[in-house]
Structure 1
């Protein structure tokens, strides 16, 4: 492990039980306990454990109930030093506009201070080869007339909005951020530079288009960005096809242009490294992933590293009430 004492908040992971793939608290803690100083984690919406019955708009409360239980289990301290799911990003359909207020209140009643924001299913492209969600979302939620109003209610309640969008959708994210400047928006997975489907083999064409959008987004102070998610197949890095998993040097070399562009545009105080596990587990292991991030941040100052690996996430998600001192 590189710099094993560096405190880390992992601001983006999932827990789920899908056919053929289960990733529960013990799996997360096994990864988090593999050598890096992962002190705290933030769960992000993934459609897990929805209620089987009841009004459709309330079924996602099941996910918040499920994750709150995992967080409470971790908080006992009986399962290691990592405090898993100290922050919860849930699902409330923002296209409901001003009707989201009671739904947000219901999630907060379940999770308390752990409930820090919302993410909707928004990553969409017309090509059937471009897919990163287990359930393909409908096109257009970011453009829906009610979405901005729902986002304003998030801001009124002091909550954040995570947005997972492909690089082709970044102008829509820009429009939303301008329409709701009072809302803190976190752009997931470096803004989704596509490398599959119609974009396979066109990385040199995609990169400048993606970079221009990143720079435009960074000009707005209400935006932050998560550095990670590049081990998803949709980005076109084919490490999963190799005979052996990649080392951290190979990952850092492949991802450097994207990570450096984001840090240069947003600055360390609006960037946070993320694992996106277990999704990114399809290409690399948890300890190798964080070693790659540490290689990418090798030239940063001590203060900049503190922001990139824990400080930005703690501030953006309001985790100041949770300890970020070394837990080991």
Structure 2
């Protein structure tokens, strides 16, 4: 492990039990105990453990209840110290009581919302187990729902492909009081109609990232690049990649985000178990540490734990506890 005493808050992972694919608390804890100093984690909605009955808008409460039961300290890690749940923001002003219902279940663990928003018309581009309908970001009620999230003092995570970043920009401008976190480096696509076109996609993606970074209510998660949709085909090789190979492939994207947003608005993320399809948890964090090797101690503190703690309102003790 590189720099094994560096405190880390992993601000983006999932828990689920789907047919043929399971990643639950014991699986997460095996990863967080694999050598890096993971002080805390943040769960992000993934459409799992919903209620089987009741009003459609209330079914995601089942996921929040499940994750709340999983939250707690296990060894040196507080798993699911923050919970990002699902409330359909296209409901507009009707979002408010749903937010309170999630809070009634999770209390202070409940820190924000994420909707299914990543969408592209190509059938070859898909990152959700259930394909979301097109258009939630530009739905007339979405910004109104987002304002309710801001009024509640919560955050909004947005997972969008690079082709959708103008919609994210419009949302951030329409609701400047809302803290919005752009997931997975803004989704530079590398499959389907974008396969083999990295040289064309990169400048278009970079232009949108810089435009988003100009808005003070935006932050970005550095990760998610091991998803197949980004076009890095490490999963096709005979052996899993090492951290040096990952760092070399991802450097242009990570450095662009850090240069645009600054370390105070950037946070490294695992996106596990999704990114587990290409690399292991310890190799992933070694890659991030290689990418941050030239940063100052203060900048590393922000990138690996400080930005996540501040953004999600997590206790500062998660990033200041004595070395193990």
What is the TM-score of this pair, normalised by structure 2?
0.99
Counterpart pick for 1:157 among 126, 139, 152:
152
Question: Following TM superposition, by how much is the alpha carbon of 1:326 offset from its aligned partner in structure 2, in angstroms?
Answer: 3.9
What is the CA distance between 1:260 and its match in structure 2? 0.1
In structure 2, the partner of 1:25 is 25
- Determine which of 272, 277, 287 is the counterpart of 2:272: 277
Residue 240 (str. 1) matches residue 235 (str. 2): yes
Partner of 1:307: 302
| 1:112 shift after superposition | 0.4
**CA-CA distance at 1:320 after TM superposition:** 2.8
SS of the residue 2:307 aligns to: helix
Give the drift of 1:215: 0.3
Q: Which residue does 2:177 correspond to in 1?
A: 182
The one of 276, 288, 296 equivalent to 2:291 is: 296
Q: Which residue number in structure 2 is paired with residue 206 of structure 1?
A: 201
CA RMSD of superposed structures (Å):
0.8
In structure 1, stretches of 5+ residues that fail to align are none
Name the SS of the counterpart of 1:272 in structure 2. strand
Match of 1:13 in 2: 13
Corresponding residue for residue 263 of structure 1? 258
Partner of 1:172: 167
Please state whether the residue corresponding to 2:219 is helix, strand or coil.
strand
Distance in structure 2 (CA, Å) of the matches to 1:44 and 1:248: 25
Q: 1:327, CA displacement in angstroms?
A: 6.2
CA deviations over 1:51-82 (Å, ceiling 9, x no partner): 000000000000000000000xx33xxx3210
Count of residue pairs the alignment pairs up: 323
SS in 2 for 1:2: coil
Given candidates 171, 192, 199, the residue that maps to 1:197 is 192
SS of the residue aligned with 2:318? coil
Structure 2 counterpart of 1:44? 44
| Helix, strand or coil at the partner of 1:46 | coil
Distance in 2, Cα, partners of 1:97 & 1:322:
36
C-alpha distance in 2 between matches for 1:306 and 1:81: 18
2:81 and 2:323 map into 1 onto residues whose CA distance is 14
1:219, 1:120 → 2: CA distance?
23
User: Is residue 50–residue 62 contact of structure 2 (8 Å, CA) maintained in 1?
Assistant: yes
8 A contact 2:9–2:318 mirrored in 1: no
CA contact (8 A) 2:44 2:85 kept: yes
Taking the TM superposition and a 5 Å limit, the aligned residue runs for 1:60-71 are: 60-71=60-71
1:137-156 correspondence to structure 2 within 5 Å? 137-156=132-151
Structure 2 SS opposite 1:141? coil
In the alignment, structure 2 segments of 5+ residues that lack a partner are: none
Distance 1:322 1:84 in 2: 14
How far the C-alpha of 1:239 sits from its partner, in A, is 0.2
Query: Does the CA contact (< 8 Å) of 1:37 and 1:326 recur in 2?
Result: no
Q: Does 1:128 align with 2:123?
A: yes
- Mark the CA change 1:326 to 1:283 in structure 2 (over 3 Å): closer, same or farther: farther
Distance 1:104 1:263 in 2: 32
Do structure 1's residue 323 and structure 2's residue 323 form an aligned pair? no
Give 3-state SS (helix, strand or coil) of 1:182's partner. Answer: coil
- Secondary structure at the residue paired with 2:167? helix
